[in-house]
Amino acid sequence: MHRRFRADDPERKRWQDPEGILTSVGVKAGMVFMDIGCGEGYFTLPAARMVGPEGSVYAVDIDIDAIDQLIRTATAEGLLNIFPEVNEGEKAVLCEGCADFVFFGNNLHDFRDPVKVIENAKRMLCPTGMLIDLDWRDDPMEIGPPAEKRLSSEKAIGMIAAAGFHIRTVRNEGPFHYLIIATH
């Protein structure tokens, strides 16, 4: 298993800026943001601050300890707009057509059935919503999951497009990741 970074890990901040990434894709006050495979909330917490009290962030992870840590951090910050759930991404459909964003942060490769998770995302997104897939490039590197576990951007694009999404943008994001933005 590869190293799982804590939500407050200063090393990670040097190569992955969650606020910058979320701003670049258009997260704004009042929106509904789904963080599927949220871990301890590296993207959940900044998203909650950005959508503000009039917005909502739904955070799903299979790891109960990660969800517990997310709850503790959110409570300490007074973030009341985060709705955490222990669940598999393959089973998580938190609403029908209500989400402005469904976000996969460094984890689409981790799901048992990534196609099912993408199909669930489509169900949750509103007609103008966006699927965001941020994941590890398949270049050789010292950090991240093993190369054989990673999804190339081409493979991720293929799965997302096969689920009926239109690929809007694909770009490198920092030194280790790609970012895919897709819409209905």
pLDDT tens digits for range 33-61: 999 999 999 999 999 999 999 999 999 99
pLDDT in tens, 1-29: 445 566 666 777 778 999 999 999 999 99
CA distances to 27, 97, 104, 126, 144 from 136, in Å: 21, 28, 11, 27, 7
Structural domains for the chain: 10-183 (3.40.50.150)
Across all residues in the chain, what is the average pLDDT?
Answer: 94
Rg (CA), the chain: 15
Structure tokens, 20: 């910058």
- Portion of the chain with pLDDT greater than 70, in percent: 95
* pLDDT-based confidence at residue 147 (cuts at 50, 70, 90): confident
Closest CA to 133 of 52, 37, 60: 37
pLDDT of residue 7: 60
pLDDT value at position 1? 42
pTM of the model: 0.93
Q: What are phi and psi of 106, to 5 degrees?
A: 65, 30
How is residue 126 written in tokens?
A: 């509103």
Query: In the predicted model, is pLDDT for residue 83 greater than 70?
Result: yes
* 127 φ/ψ angles, rounded to the nearest 5 degrees: -55, -30
pLDDT digits (tens, 9 = 90+) for 112-140: 999 999 999 999 999 999 999 999 999 88
**pLDDT recorded at residue 144:** 87
